[in-house]
Structure 1
Amino acid sequence: MTTAVTSTTSSTTSTTSTSSSSGLSADYDTFLQLLCAQLENQNPLDPTDATQFTSQLVQYSNLEQQIATNDKLDSVLSSLSTSTFSSGVGYLGHVVEAEGDSITVQSDGTVDATWGYDLDSAASSVKLTITDSSGETVWTGTGDTAAGSHALEWDGTDSDGDTVDAGTYTLKVTALDSSGAAIDTTTTIKGTVTAVDSTDGTTLLELGGTSVSLSDITRLAA
């Protein structure tokens, strides 16, 4: 099994932060040069007003503090990003369970993850419907009606027993009580973490071709 780790978050954050700090530093240097030029070229018979000069010094000090504050914030953001990504790497090779309703079927028919669903209370009937990325139903069946957690082991075939095309498939659980009222359900997916990706700033765990957010993980199964 090949595992992959991808992260461009730190470099992106660093590039943005460097650009911001460089801009402030340029303004800082320009302000200092103008202040020095003003002092050098002021009229000795009519020097800069003390109040005005004090105000300029305050602006100079505020700009200096802003640059220092931005540098500290950049450091904090970089540390947080690295920490989150490192947490994701710790899941590599482990089986996790996460909130979600979509999984991926590979071109060879391999299903990357399994579904699970929770019923808040016992149901009179439970209908399971699997749809493809276009919303077309490919498989329907009945599920367990007892309250609690249940698993659905789908083999990647449609209602006729034919292997479905590669792509993303979604499970819908419809649970009704004896009066026909809907029962609250929660759908989950479970699979082995094969890669970690943090390209866009959000740490994602990849279960084969299925991606889940680190924040959606509800259980470490193994």
Structure 2
Amino acid sequence: MSISSVNYYTSTSSTSTSTSSTSSSSSTLGITSSDFLQLMVEQLQNQSPLDPADTDSYLDKLVAYASYDTQTAISDNLESITSTLSSTLSSSGLGYIGQTVEVTGSTTSLEDSSAEWTYTLDSNAASTTINILDENGDVVWTGSGETDAGTHSFSWDGTTTDGTQLEDGGTYTLSIEATDSDGDSIDGSTTVIGKVTGLDVSDDDSLLKIGDASFSVENVLQILAS
């Protein structure tokens, strides 16, 4: 098998009951300033004549209640704007710039003498061979890989099989050949891990750049901690 992917949220009792009901409503959608005013009227009707509430205090409450609906509307609008902006940044790819991501694919760029992939084997293998191919399809490095089923990380430092250190830049492809004890190929998949260095919007599709390699935004699997 050769595993290779294409890149690309009473009165006292009455007052107590009203307070409890309003408190419960405040935690749900649909509450308005009129609800608060109704509660205040209830409190005025049931206050002690010997100890009436302070007039200034109630005036302050009236002002606060009058502005409640406006404050709520502003909060909802800000939440909507934030959500829209976040969605736009994500779909356009701008939010990925500078982030280390994992994307579906097998071709990446050698940057700072490092290229990283993961490869997944669908079942245990008797033998696994890892090949790194250059842009011309020539094998520049080969070695043995993990044989257990599951996902494995692989990092290459840009050194060829014969010990030559390759310069940064260019693109290299990971190819996995895994077989079972009967010599049959084992299926699997590969991903690329790297820091997004740019965004190509020259075509209809926004392409993330990891060095010289390009990936579709739709191929991003996750953002990794730096």
State if a TM-score over 0.5 links the two structures. Answer: yes
Aligned pairs for 1:2-81 (under 5 A) are none
> Quick check: 1:99 aligned with 2:104?
yes
Match of 2:188 among 185, 190, 206: 185
In the alignment, the residues of structure 1 paired with residue 184 and residue 121 of structure 2 have an alpha-carbon distance, to the nearest angstrom, of: 13
> Quick check: 1:204 aligned with 2:216?
no
In the alignment, the residues of structure 1 paired with residue 217 and residue 91 of structure 2 have an alpha-carbon distance, to the nearest angstrom, of: 11
How many residue pairs get aligned? The number is 139
The answer to whether the Cα contact below 8 Å between 1:85 and 1:203 also exists between their aligned partners in 2 is no
The corresponding residue for 1:154 is 156
What letter matches 1:209 in structure 2? D
In the alignment, the residues of structure 2 paired with residue 102 and residue 197 of structure 1 have an alpha-carbon distance, to the nearest angstrom, of: 17
Aligned pairs for 1:90-129 (under 5 A) are 90-105=95-110, 110-111=113-114, 113-129=115-131
Q: 1:198 to 1:85 in 2, by over 3 A?
A: farther
In the alignment, the residues of structure 2 paired with residue 136 and residue 209 of structure 1 have an alpha-carbon distance, to the nearest angstrom, of: 18
1:169 deviation in Å?
Answer: 1.3
| % identical aligned pairs | 42
Unaligned stretches of 5+ residues in structure 1: 1-78
Unaligned stretches of 5+ residues in structure 2: 1-83
Task: Tell me the alpha carbon deviations over residues 135-177 of structure 1, each in whole angstroms, 9 at most, x when there is no partner.
Answer: 2111100111111111111000100111125422111101111
1:87 deviation in Å?
Answer: 4.3
In the alignment, the residues of structure 1 paired with residue 142 and residue 185 of structure 2 have an alpha-carbon distance, to the nearest angstrom, of: 18
Runs of 4+ in 1 over 4 A off after TM superposition: 84-87
1:115 deviation in Å?
Answer: 1.2
In the alignment, the residues of structure 1 paired with residue 100 and residue 89 of structure 2 have an alpha-carbon distance, to the nearest angstrom, of: 19
Task: Tell me the alpha carbon deviations over residues 84-113 of structure 1, each in whole angstroms, 9 at most, x when there is no partner.
Answer: 77541111222111111111235xx633x4
Q: What's the TM-score, normalizing by structure 2? A: 0.56
Match of 2:222 among 212, 219, 222: 219
In the alignment, the residues of structure 2 paired with residue 199 and residue 143 of structure 1 have an alpha-carbon distance, to the nearest angstrom, of: 38
In the alignment, the residues of structure 1 paired with residue 216 and residue 207 of structure 2 have an alpha-carbon distance, to the nearest angstrom, of: 5
Larger Rg: 1 or 2? 2
1:122 deviation in Å?
Answer: 1.2
Q: What's the secondary structure of 2:135's corresponding residue?
A: coil
The answer to whether the Cα contact below 8 Å between 1:84 and 1:203 also exists between their aligned partners in 2 is no
In the alignment, the residues of structure 1 paired with residue 116 and residue 95 of structure 2 have an alpha-carbon distance, to the nearest angstrom, of: 21
Task: Tell me the alpha carbon deviations over residues 170-197 of structure 1, each in whole angstroms, 9 at most, x when there is no partner.
Answer: 1110111111111111011001112222
Q: What's the secondary structure of 1:90's corresponding residue?
A: helix
The answer to whether the Cα contact below 8 Å between 1:85 and 1:198 also exists between their aligned partners in 2 is no
Q: What's the TM-score, normalizing by structure 1? A: 0.57
